[in-house]
Amino acid sequence: MSEGPAGVQETVLEVSGLCTELGPQDKPVRAVDGVDLHLHRGETFVLVGESGCGKSMIALSLMRLLPSTGRVVQGEVRLQGRSLLDLPEVEMRRERGGGIGMIFQEPMTSLNPVMSVGKQVAEAVELHDPAHAASPRARVLELFRQVGIPDPERRIDEYPHQLSGGMKQRVMIAMALAGRPGVLIADEPTTALDVTIQAQVLQLLRDLQAETGMGILLITHDLGVVAEMADRVGVMYAGQLVETAAVGSFFKQPRHPYSRKLFRSLPDAGKRELGLDIIKGMVPPLNQAFDLCRFRDRCEAAQAVCGERLPPWQGDPQDGYRCHLAVDRIELQASESARHAPAAADAGQPLMAASDLRVHFPIRKGVLRRTVGFVKAVDGLDLALYPGRTLALVGESGCGKTTVGKALLQLLRASGGRVDYDGANLTQLRGESLRRLRREFQIIFQDPASSMNPRMLVGDIVAEGLRAQGIAGDRRAEQARVLQLLDQVGLPASSVGRYPHEFSGGQRQRIAIARALAVKPRLVVCDEPTSALDVSVQAQVLNLLKTLQAELDLSYLFITHNISVVAYLADEVAVMYLGRIVERGPVERVLNAPAHPYTQALLASVPVPDPDDRREVLRLEGDMPSPANPPTGCHFHERCPRAEARCRREYPARFELEPQHEVSCWLYAQRD
């Protein structure tokens, strides 16, 4: 971190009393309410908190990119001593991308799909870099090399859809760096990325910061990313900063009750039987004036004084917390209702098994749309799902995980192989015989909002499967079943008459779970059901899934890239790469002693919520090859640091290391 004269840290961004409102003047939503923060040169300040707490609104306020109904009503923002809020828009445009840059959460929606990525970065160069404005291509190539984009001479003329998620995020970083900003705002820059790509992007930000000395304001809800990136941490709740601290002291002793509950909501293997702590209730609506503690109704440590007046700020302005209670008086109790029984040790016979499963999508070209090749999304996969147990399927985006889930349930037809369910070969069933079996297996999609009809009431959404299967009964029986399901997933009976948009993300996921359970399935495919959820909401959904599994003896295929969720929820884990399983086994063995080089790199890329536990990332070079043209031999050999000549010639056989722990890798050939 850079220091000025006499060891004083140089402040590059200073925010004082920032208040941002949205909506009508008479009853505004106070999205940001009196926030103070300072960012020093070469420092990373991380904002954490639940969705809706105001993190992104702070970033948009600093950039003056608020929606049309938004306005900064109070406060001051100074960038290297210059007030941003007082600048006319024409001058603010020069600062935006020049003195202060921003990386948005979703690169695909931030990039123009009909312009090459090189032209989009060139626009930023022309606007903010006078020395290269006349001929920006050389500077764009330099930026592409700086952010680690391979073969920049070719990539510069490609379009966003031709790039992977991690590559698109690198383009966004290059665009943000075009004006050589002193401050970089990164709003959830790795949320949608796999852990391997996330590790690359975080390392890139650290390297660029060391090279340029820029200050970084990072927004995230991943405490592992906080531990890895932060110098200082700010915890947001209901529009306010409720705690700020140096990263080391924050992880050793979080002070605010909300901060402590966030840590206790984190999934890990040690909580498998105890369950996760949850934060009851929801963030209060921000269209009100607060005269009491905002966290009071959800706080287990609340006392009489919390219901009498606003809590004071205790400690230094840049190292303190907002609470009536002293740190040693804050006592939180564990959630007693979240305990789970361990899964049965004897799995018995598989409920569903796939053998040599293949799903190939034709590539058609020309006027006659002739087939010129195939995208081999799933290419010879074997797996088994057992009653009452959870199999986690992990791997990078594009490896075929979701296609596997859909093919197992016959939502996509297999190109080859077979899927056996309780003695029936599903790949040979059609029409009514398959429809009758569909009630036995269901799916929960990643984004509950897009998987529900926004014009249907929740009661009708939950009852839809009952009606489709002809098992709804009369109106009274159907209504009773819907109310039972909503109660089962922890939603009030009044939910039946409301629409999906009236619920939070976690509540919508509960509705999706209730819909899946309506027809009393025996197996549920969960496709990234918690990837877009906050830590606290994720804990509620994971506890619910575990409770329902114990009560109903459900089997889960849990598709995810969150390894901590795998450690908490799964009994077995299968690691997938380019359409095939490369390693599978009991979750403890695979996570504690990974055998395949890809599994090792995947686990080494997971950020650990402990700033003292600095991991050694096994960097994977390049991107996953195209499933339309997989490499000969082992599909992983082009990225594998331990590849041998045989790996380039032959796809490895499957080797058993221990009972039920198998790996497809030539490194273990001598053990077979």
pLDDT tens digits for range 103-140: 987 777 789 999 999 999 999 999 898 889 899 999 99
Q: Does the residue 64 lie in any domain? A: no
pLDDT tens digits for range 591-601: 999 999 999 99
Q: Which residues contact 458 (CB under 8 A, 6 or more apart)?
A: 486, 495, 496, 497, 498, 499, 500, 503, 511
pLDDT tens digits for range 451-490: 899 999 999 999 999 998 888 888 999 999 999 999 888 8
Q: Which of the listed residues 312, 338, 364 is the one where a domain comes to its end? A: 338
Percent of the chain residues past pLDDT 70, beyond the cut? 94
Q: Regarding beta strands 215-219 and 183-187, do their DSSP bridges make them parallel or antiparallel, or are they unpaired? A: parallel
Quick one: pLDDT at residue 339? 54
Among 61, 47, 130, which Cα is nearest to 92's?
Answer: 61
Q: Residue 111: left if φ>0, alpha if ψ -120 to 50, beta else—which one? A: beta
Contact 118, 167 (CB under 8 A): no
- Mean pLDDT comparison of 260-274, 284-298, 378-392, 424-438, highest-scoring range: 378-392
594 plus 657 within the same structural domain:
yes
CB-side neighbour CA atoms (13 Å) of 415: 15
Contact 37, 241 (CB under 8 A): yes
Residue 528 pLDDT level (bands cut at 50, 70, 90): confident
- What are the tokens at 113? 């799909």
Quick one: pLDDT at residue 346? 56
Quick one: pLDDT at residue 606? 86
Confidence check: pLDDT of 504 > 90 = no
Confidence check: pLDDT of 662 > 70 = yes
Percent of the chain residues past pLDDT 90, beyond the cut? 59
Q: Which residues contact 151 (CB under 8 A, 6 or more apart)?
A: none
Mean pLDDT to the nearest integer, 207-215: 92
Quick one: pLDDT at residue 7? 46
The beta strands (E) that lie in 414-541 are given as: 416-421, 424-425, 441-444, 523-527
390 plus 299 within the same structural domain:
no
Mean pLDDT to the nearest integer, 196-222: 89
Q: Does the residue 72 lie in any domain? A: no
Q: Does the residue 293 lie in any domain? A: yes
Q: Which of the listed residues 158, 178, 198 is the one where a domain comes to its end? A: 178
Q: Which of the listed residues 291, 312, 338 is the one where a domain comes to its end? A: 338
Range of the domain at 109: 105-178
Q: Which residues contact 578 (CB under 8 A, 6 or more apart)?
A: 379, 399, 400, 624, 625, 627, 630, 635, 636
Helix (H, G, I), strand (E, B) or coil at 372: strand
548 plus 399 within the same structural domain:
yes
Q: Does the residue 273 lie in any domain? A: yes
Mean pLDDT to the nearest integer, 224-251: 95
pTM for the predicted model, two decimal places: 0.85
Angstrom distance (rounded) from CA 590 to CA 661: 8
329 plus 360 within the same structural domain:
no
Q: Does the residue 601 lie in any domain? A: yes
Mean pLDDT of the chain: 89
Angstrom distance (rounded) from CA 313 to CA 325: 10
Q: How far is CA 306 from CA 295, 323, 325, in A?
A: 9, 8, 9
pLDDT tens digits for range 633-652: 999 999 998 999 999 999 99
Quick one: pLDDT at residue 258? 95
Mean pLDDT to the nearest integer, 418-431: 91
Q: Does the residue 116 lie in any domain? A: yes
277 plus 370 within the same structural domain:
no
399 plus 323 within the same structural domain:
no
Confidence check: pLDDT of 431 > 90 = no
Confidence check: pLDDT of 441 > 80 = yes
Residue 336 pLDDT level (bands cut at 50, 70, 90): very low
Quick one: pLDDT at residue 337? 45
Quick one: pLDDT at residue 360? 95
630 plus 666 within the same structural domain:
yes
Quick one: pLDDT at residue 341? 54
CATH number at residue 625: 3.40.50.300
Quick one: pLDDT at residue 439? 87
Among 579, 599, 590, 586, which Cα is nearest to 642's?
Answer: 599
The radius of gyration computed from the CA coordinates of the chain, to the nearest angstrom, equals 26
Q: Does the residue 11 lie in any domain? A: no
158 plus 264 within the same structural domain:
no
533 plus 654 within the same structural domain:
yes
Confidence check: pLDDT of 413 > 80 = yes
- What are the tokens at 347? 């799995």
- What are the tokens at 371? 């087939």
pLDDT tens digits for range 164-174: 777 888 899 99
162 plus 308 within the same structural domain:
no
pLDDT tens digits for range 350-362: 999 999 999 999 9
Quick one: pLDDT at residue 615? 63
Q: Pick the residue with more confidence: 145 or 583?
A: 583
Mean pLDDT to the nearest integer, 233-260: 95
pLDDT tens digits for range 49-86: 888 889 999 999 999 999 999 999 999 999 999 999 99
Cβ neighbours, 10 Å, residue 641: 11
Mean pLDDT to the nearest integer, 559-579: 93
553 plus 608 within the same structural domain:
yes
Total structural domains within the chain: 3
Q: Does the residue 158 lie in any domain? A: yes
Confidence check: pLDDT of 236 > 80 = yes
**Cα 343 vs. chain centroid, distance in angstroms?**
27
Residue 335 pLDDT level (bands cut at 50, 70, 90): low
575 plus 627 within the same structural domain:
yes
Angstrom distance (rounded) from CA 385 to CA 408: 11
